[in-house]
Chain A
Amino acid sequence: MNVKVLIVDSHGSFAENTKFLFSMEPQIETVEIVKNGGECLDFVRQSPPDVVLLDIHLNDGNGISLIEQIQRIAPTVKIILMTECNQEGYVIAAKNKGADGVIIKDLHIREVVQVILKVMDGGTYFYQSPLAFPKNQIDIDDIHFPVKPVEILEKILTPEEKEIMRLLTKRLSNKQIASILGVSTRVLSERINIILLKFGVNTKLEAVLTWPFVEP
């Protein structure tokens, strides 16, 4: 049984490519590509698909506000939201509106199929945002940041990550550090995110404050 997917995307070539990629997947049947919200609602009203792959940015509004309208017409239709960038706000908003999944647009096509199948099984998929905005108020003037034990840091950090931390404590900006290390700012920010995950903190400041090595 094929899953009938409706692609709602204003970006013509991207949508066509999605359809093309789905054509190689046997489980997925692309029923139609529609360019905007109005067409989407019309289509859903006439022949509801199984899954609506909904782009967040449409010509006539944004996908998030469309979620409720689709569900009102066809409550059984599963909705997966596509975003260009990795932002927590979208995930939260989509969850609140009742979407079944949020994916980033450059996700590997196989993974997209997996997500669709998972959603069809009644599951949900929301990509993991690397950081969440701190929910609890932290007073940094008050709180004491325990310095990480040196041996643990030795274990969890690679030499390159240590070098990044050393540069960070020198109060250099990301751009400066990236040019010192000869990597792009994207790569650097990804690495910093990894360091933060290893430290178990949310912000750069926390990481710097718990860093035990202070250079003169």
Chain B
Amino acid sequence: MWNKLINRQIYYIASIFFIVLGLVYFIACLEHPYIGTDLKNNRGSWLVTGSDPHGAGYQSGIRVGDQILKIDGMDPEKFNSSQKWGLLERARTIDFCKADSLAVQQITIENRLDWIKVLSDAPLVILGFVFWFVGFITWYKRPFLKEVRLLFWLLWLFALAIVLAHPSGRYLPLAKELEYITFSLVAVMLIVFTSSFPLNSRTTSTGFKITAVCFTIIIMLTILQSLGFIHLQDVLRKLALSNMIIGILFSVWNLCKVLALPKDRPEKNEAAIVFLGIIIGFMPNILYVALPQIFNLQQFLTEVSYLFLSAIPFSLYYVIINKYLPDSRRVYKTIITNFLAAFILSIIVHYFLYLGKIIKIVSAESYLATFVLCLLFFVCFYLLRLIISKLLERFSFFQTNISLKHRVTELNNSITSLICEDHIFEEAIKKLGIDGVFIIVENAQTGCLRKAVGRFRKNHQEQSELEAYFRRNQKQDLEARFLSDNCPAEIFVPFVSDNSTCGIFFGHRYSHIKFEKSELPFLTLLAGQLAYEVLMLLVIGDLTKEINNLTLTSWCSRRRNWELQGITNSLIRMIEQDRGSLSKELLDGPVHSALDISRLLKILEKENLGDDTTQQVVSRIRNQINDLNYDLNQTVHNLRPPVLSDLGLIPAIQSLSQDIMLREPNFIILETEGIELNDRFAEDVEIAAYRFIQKGIFNSLRYSGSKKQTVRIKLSGEKLELTVKDNGQGFDPDQLEKGLLGGAHYGLAIMKERIESLGGQMLISSGFQRGTTLKATIPVY
């Protein structure tokens, strides 16, 4: 609840409090005349120690040194305001006598409510409201920043102090006390604020301690004074002012510490602007109000110097609300030059005023007044200039200039969305209201590209004229320039990008208004953008072509790949078919002939016919026939073992293993799982499986150096899992990858292709000295 209140409500409550207080006191002030006379009790007689020239007392003839005899018919001793604060306020009739005569004069202070009075009172109240309003707006815009909250309270206190100035002068109830409290609290707050912002230095600095102590003393004194125990109004006033000055000095010191930071820190710039605001705001006040009060000098220009205070809230607001600030150095420069200008002007003006007898005597006072007026004149001049230029911009009196800027920005925005280059140029001439654009882009790779829109499109003579100009001016500086009047184009903008040189010619305006020099930067910008877009389009065009080519090539190669795959598969199938039919033909033809001859010769041999020679010849023939038979059988077997198609995979593998074990000094272990001796599969599956195992065993025999091969045939579900494993030397799988593509292991690559064409997979796992495992999975149904 309290937190919530702290978070938001408290600000509204404070604001309402301020507004009500301000208005009430303002109206009350209008009711009461301002006498502006300070009194002092000097051994029982009340002497006037100060008389404000603006006050009714001064106007009625009360001067410093006069003695006040009676106020409202009472002894000044009894009069409330004079007793407590040494003020002569809220009095109706005053009896006094001049210092040099004993004649008693009586004056009656009348409250004349007129516009002059309202107008003279209003500025301070307005200033107070400005302070509060700026604080409130800052808080409203950025309610969550710590420094914003601090700023709010600081400005709130300021506003209160300012609003209370008049009421306290008129001795309205509580106004004096409140003013002292707020005024001295402002100093504390100021130090807190400047030390917490913009740099997070310690808040408990010496300045803070001093002002805090002063503040407590002031509060105590104020209360005591208010209760009438002590009469130290002079001390109190001076103490409050000193406290304020101390606060300001320490704040300035804090800011100076920030200013000593390196250049690249953003705080430095912020601090510089705040510093400036504080200096401008307080300097006149200190010079014209505070110091004279402390040293009992005559104050002057009080009201004007108050106006400068408004620089404080605005500068603080500006720094806190805006993220990007102008360079403070430039601000300083402007202000210092104007200050000096005002200084010189004020001397001149003052001199002329003296010559014109408007000023009777040359005094510091009159000069300073002129100076401040000059300064104000400058400020007002700048303000007016700013307001008028803003207004003109708003109601677009200088349409051409502004609209060109506007159009160029618009075009730049839309240019990226215009894909086709023609559109870009059409858009450009339409937006700029010119009769044509001609662009030349020269590039080492793409050659020379010309593009003409508007009047140059059909006009080749003009085009060649402009191109000649472009060639002549190619080597010169890259600045946009106006062309002579007899040239078809008005502006030429050369442009260089990466490896291209471009030139852009802008034609004349339809309206026959010449381009201004100030418009050149925009056109240069636009030209750069246009040239860039054209170049980009060129590049994109090239890339598109390239991509299309690549796509086509890749599509072709992919098709080729499919074709090759198909060819490979059909080649494998053809080879296998050829082997099968060859094997069958051999078996049916030559093998049977050989067998036939063999058994006939056996009969011949057994019959013992003829002589020895015949016998020997017969025996040799039989040997030869047996060799032939053996070789034919081997060939048939190598081509495609009949046992595979006759009996199936397992018997064929068994017979293969037997055969190998008889011929080679190695050992083959055949393991089967889930498969029977007479299980049959589709022919191509059986052949592929047989070839895979055959290949695996042969490879192992040839390369591994292993004496043992383990062949494993497993039927699981609908898949035939084949494994050929050895524990030989193995090889590097990386080399295998290369080998599959290269020449060394084409056999395995073909095998892989073959198994994959049946919808299976083949895996080769090996490692150096870790043996080799070939694994294939073939779906059987």
Contacts and interface: CB of A to CB of B under 8 A. Distances in A.
Contact of B663 (A14, A96, A105, A174): A174
Interface residues of B, number: 48
Q: Which of B629, B630, B658, B678 has its CB near the most chain A CB atoms (within 10 A)? A: B658
Contact of A87 (B626, B643, B666, B667): B643
Nearest to B677: A92
Interface string A1-30: 000000000110110010001000000000
Given A105-B599, A109-B599, A192 B662 contact: yes
Given A90-B646, A186-B630, A107 B599 contact: yes
Contacts of A84: 587, 591-592, 595, 633, 642
Nearest to A11: B592
Contacts of B633: 84-85
Nearest to A104: B595
B603 A57 contact: no
Nearest to B591: A84
Contacts of B587: 57, 84
Given A106-B595, A107-B599, A131 B662 contact: yes
Given A93-B647, A137-B669, A204-B663, A105 B592 contact: yes
B664 to A, nearest CB: 7
B599 A204 contact: no
Nearest to B652: A89
Interface in A81-130: 84-85, 87-90, 92-93, 96, 105-110
Contact of A203 (B631, B667, B671, B677): B667
B269 interface: no
Interface residues of A, number: 49
Given A13-B596, A89-B655, A140-B708, A204 B664 contact: yes
Nearest to A85: B633
A106 B629 contact: yes
B661 A205 contact: yes
Contacts of B603: 21, 108-109
Nearest to A189: B662
B627 interface: yes
A183 to B, nearest CB: 9
A47 interface: no
Given A89-B643, A186-B630, A203-B667, A106 B598 contact: yes
A140 B603 CA distance: 45
A109 B658 CA distance: 29
Contacts of B598: 106
Contact of B658 (A13, A133, A141): A133
B651 interface: yes
A33 interface: no
A84 B627 CA distance: 14
Q: Which of B588, B596, B637 has its CB near the most chain A CB atoms (within 10 A)? A: B596
Given A56-B646, A109-B603, A184-B627, A11 B661 contact: no
Given A84-B592, A106-B598, A203 B661 contact: yes
Nearest to B658: A133
B606 interface: yes
B592 A14 contact: yes
Given A141-B708, A189-B662, A203-B662, 16 more contacts: A64-B646, A85-B633, A85-B637, A105-B592, A106-B594, A109-B602, A131-B662, A133-B654, A137-B669, A168-B665, A185-B631, A187-B627, A189-B663, A196-B662, A204-B664, A205-B667
Interface in B608-630: 623, 626-627, 629-630
A13 B599 CA distance: 13
23 contacts: A14-B592, A14-B596, A56-B646, A62-B645, A62-B646, A84-B642, A87-B643, A89-B655, A105-B592, A106-B594, A108-B599, A108-B603, A109-B602, A133-B657, A133-B670, A139-B669, A168-B665, A171-B665, A173-B664, A189-B663, A192-B662, A203-B667, A204-B662
A71 interface: no
Contacts of A139: 669
Interface in A58-90: 62, 64, 84-85, 87-90
